[in-house]
């Protein structure tokens, strides 16, 4: 006797059907305690730019653009985090780009206050 297999139709909005960026935007965004501080730093160091939405995922190309806007290099990021941009994304797949920019802003603030050696 054959068993009947019920095939459920795929839902259009099923997360497995969405692109990586759309899926990241649809997920719950973690709250960062430093968000208000990062907004203050952005107003100081990036007054001409609007920060990306919290749901925007990190990607190395966008990260390079923001490093350039902050006057930092990938080598500065590597020294501060001991990871390349690609490694950072791989290690932190759910981190929003905005939070990463916040950490880069903290690096700029640190270098301004203590110099590159501090």
Query: pLDDT tens for residues 41-58?
Result: 999 999 999 999 998 999
Pairwise CA distance, residues 93 & 111, whole Å: 27
Q: Which residue has the tokens 């007054």?
A: 47
**What is the domain partition of the chain in residue ranges?**
57-118
40 vs 10, higher pLDDT:
40
36 vs 4, higher pLDDT:
36
pLDDT for residue 11:
57
Neighbours of 59 (CB within 10 A): 15
Neighbours of 12 (CB within 10 A): 7
55 vs 25, higher pLDDT:
55
pLDDT for residue 76:
94
How far from 78 is each of 10, 20, 81, 83, 92, CA to CA, in Å?
A: 43, 25, 5, 5, 15
The pTM (predicted TM-score) of the whole model is: 0.73
Extract the tokens encoding 106.
């903290």
Q: Does the structure show a pLDDT above 90 at 118? A: no
Mean pLDDT of all residues in 28-48 = 89
Return the DSSP state at 72.
-
Query: pLDDT tens for residues 60-101?
Result: 999 999 999 999 999 999 999 999 999 999 999 989 999 999
Please tell me the total number of residues recorded for the chain in this structure.
Answer: 118
């Amino acid at each position: 006797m054959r068993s009947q297999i019920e095939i459920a139709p795929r839902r259009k909005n099923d997360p497995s059907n969405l692109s990586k960026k759309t899926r990241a935007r649809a997920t719950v965004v973690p709250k960062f305690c430093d968000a208000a501080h990062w907004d203050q730093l952005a107003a100081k160091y990036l007054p001409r730019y609007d920060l990306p939405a919290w749901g925007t995922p990190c990607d190395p190309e966008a990260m390079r653009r923001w490093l350039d806007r902050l006057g930092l290099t990938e080598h500065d990021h590597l020294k501060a985090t001991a990871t390349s941009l690609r490694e950072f994304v791989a290690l932190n797949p759910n981190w929003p780009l905005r939070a990463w920019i916040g950490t880069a802003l903290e690096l700029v603030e640190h270098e301004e206050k203590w110099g590159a050696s501090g």
